[in-house]
Structure 1
């Protein structure tokens, strides 16, 4: 079970029950927010994706986009995004 508040943990479980797969942009946002809460801010010490690793590059860019966001803000944004996806 991921770290974070009970609401965050519930959102992590709820995201797996979505009827359809979210758009790639939304998936990247979910990924970045999840990583921010569970792993921490991107530090620059992570291994760089390879030249042809487009998915890895997109994931790193998504994490860098929210660099500096607090864990609490990331958690709230993740929960809100999952709620919006479930209600859509």
Structure 2
């Protein structure tokens, strides 16, 4: 596992230890970058208009376009670091 992949995995674990749940915009950004990093651009079909949550997640991911997996990992780590400053890690978890 590369250094970047190790940092990415650690960030994915740390985000679950934040003292406060990130807002919807932050969650969508995390989701999109995680999916782009782990699945690439394979998004499947866009969910129907009545499935608001799935459609928002799909749209956030699709907005990343052709971002590479490496770029998505780097951005995900950056987002988590910013969130840790805003919502510190809960030491008891």
Offset of 1:71 from its aligned partner?
1.0
Aligned equivalent of 1:77, options 65, 75, 78: 75
RMSD: 1.3
Mark the runs of 5 or more structure 2 residues left unpaired by the alignment: 87-93
2:30 is matched with which residue? 30
| CA deviation string 1:17-36 (max 9, x = no partner) | 01111110110000000000
Native 8 Å contact 1:42 1:63 kept in 2: no
1:60 is matched with which residue? 58
Query: May I ask how many residue pairs the two structures share in their alignment?
Result: 83
- Rg comparison, structure with higher value: 2
TM-score w.r.t. the length of structure 1 is 0.87
Native 8 Å contact 1:33 1:74 kept in 2: yes
**For the residues of structure 2 that align with 1:52 and 1:41, how far apart are their CA atoms?**
23
Native 8 Å contact 1:30 1:78 kept in 2: yes
Mark the runs of 5 or more structure 1 residues left unpaired by the alignment: none
